Amino acid sequence: MIAVNEPLLDGNERKYLLQAIDSGWISSEGPFITEFETAFAARVQRQHAIAVSNGSVALDAAVVALGIGPGDEVILPSFTIISCAAAIVRAGATPVVVDCDPLTFNMSAAAVAARITPRTKAVMVVHLYGLPVDMDPLLELVQRHGLKLIEDAAEMHGQTYKGRPCGSFGDISTFSFYPNKHITTGEGGMIVCNSPELAAHCRSLRNLCFKPEQRFVHEELGWNMRMTNLQAALGLAQLERLDEFVARKRRMGQRYTELLAGTPGLQLPVAQTAEADNIYWVYPLVLDDAVPLDAKAMMKALGERGIGTRPFFWPMHEQPVFRKMGLMAGESHPVSERIARRGFYIPSGLALREEQMVTSAQAAREVMEQAMSATQEHAHV
Ligand SMILES: Cc1ncc(COP(=O)(O)O)c(C=O)c1O
């Protein structure tokens, strides 16, 4: 089986991990945490970085730190991971979703503008699958309406928008270091911001809101979302190689596009927009409407040929958990619905080798050609 995501861990990862183990510092108190936070903040041009245990809880902290709660609405894309909407719902606020672009999969400022109400408190912008959201009109919109901006840059390590790092735009921005990301700590996340007050609040939320002067007396509920020194050791080694990893992912994306060009029925990812070149978080494919298979059938056919795949996100407005809560009831966001059913990605990890890419692309082409010729035969009968 060709793994869908295999990370590259052959830099200083082993060396730094051993240093952490040999030093005895394995909890969140160890020195790699500060080193990783400082290096990461510099990389995304932010004043503060707070390392946490994953990218989902980073969003929880961001929402709470910005004072979002009951009665507030937060606008976000429907096509995203549940972590985004879950953070809003857990804080007692209401998620208000917008549809996305069929080619970049990203939300637009125009869609957000259409859903602003007097209760709107914030926008949660999510850059997806390797291309940034068009930020200028969105920044103008949030400024005009006095809204907070949370930027989920979980998939955007090393990406820029008009030359400015993704993760530098939000009042608070967040990242994930899950192994399918451009840099990984196994599990992990980062919160970044410029405000010392927000940074202090996020640090407190990360650590159960212990009070410095009276440790076990709490004025607010936090979480234990601390990252360990072991994870930060990995993170620092990975961060040293971010430029190399981005260049490698770009080459991989271009290579897949060469190998798959002209395959009937397949929408390949957009290589670039006016604002950025794709960093190919993963290599996503969307089946044209004319293809008689959906993503599920296609992934099954590829699995039978030893090719690992993953489906696209499932829209927030179609989530049973939110339906049960009466959220987003009766909404329709056709692009999100369509790409969720017709989109999937093929092996995309940094450790993927040329011959594995050739095998994966060939398998995808064969399955598509078979599916399309079966339709044509059917049409002739
Ligand atoms: C856009 C986006 N936001 C948030 C997350 C959550 O990060 P984690 O898996 O580290 O909790 C992910 C993914 O994994 C993601 O892709």
pLDDT at 158 exceeding the cut of 60: yes
Residue found by looking up tokens 């078979």 in the block: 370
For residues 270-294, give the mean pLDDT: 97
* End-to-end Cα spacing for the chain: 37
How does residue 376 score in pLDDT terms, banded at 50, 70 and 90? confident
In the chain, what percentage of residues exceed pLDDT 70? 99
Phi, psi of 21 (to 5 degrees): -65, -45
With a 6 A CB cut-off, is 159 part of the ligand 1 pocket? no
Instruction: Measure Cα distances from 85 to 59, 90, 185, 305, 316 in Å.
Output: 9, 9, 24, 35, 7
Cα–chain-centroid distance for residue 285?
A: 17
pLDDT, mean over the chain: 97
Tell me how far the alpha carbon of residue 80 lies from the centroid of ligand 1, in angstroms: 9
With a 6 A CB cut-off, is 154 part of the ligand 1 pocket? yes
Please tell me the chain's helix, strand, coil percentages from 3-state DSSP, rounded to the nearest 5: 40, 15, 45
Q: What is the pLDDT of residue 379?
A: 62
Q: Could you give the CA distance from residue 195 to residue 341 in angstroms, rounded to a whole number?
A: 40
Interior angle at CA 121, CA 149 and CA 328, nearest 5:
105
Q: What is the pLDDT of residue 289?
A: 95
How does residue 374 score in pLDDT terms, banded at 50, 70 and 90? confident
Tell me how far the alpha carbon of residue 24 lies from the centroid of ligand 1, in angstroms: 30
Phi, psi of 95 (to 5 degrees): -80, 135
Over residues 71-129, the pLDDT tens digits come to 999 999 999 999 999 999 999 999 999 999 999 999 999 999 999 999 999 999 999 99
pLDDT at 381 exceeding the cut of 60: no
For residues 368-376, give the mean pLDDT: 86
Over residues 13-57, the pLDDT tens digits come to 999 999 999 999 999 999 999 999 999 999 999 999 999 999 999
For residues 158-181, give the mean pLDDT: 98
pLDDT at 278 exceeding the cut of 60: yes
With a 6 A CB cut-off, is 130 part of the ligand 1 pocket? no
Looking at the CA of residue 56, tell me the nearest atom of ligand 1.
Answer: 11
Helix (H) or strand (E) holding 327: none
With a 6 A CB cut-off, is 83 part of the ligand 1 pocket? yes
For residues 330-336, give the mean pLDDT: 97
Residue of minimum CA distance from atom 8 in ligand 1: 55
Q: What is the pLDDT of residue 375?
A: 73
Tell me how far the alpha carbon of residue 28 lies from the centroid of ligand 1, in angstroms: 21
Q: What is the pLDDT of residue 212?
A: 87
Strand order in the sheet with 172-176: 48-52, 189-193, 172-176, 148-152, 120-126, 73-77, 94-98
With a 6 A CB cut-off, is 55 part of the ligand 1 pocket? yes
How does residue 380 score in pLDDT terms, banded at 50, 70 and 90? low
Whether this model's pTM surpasses 0.85: yes
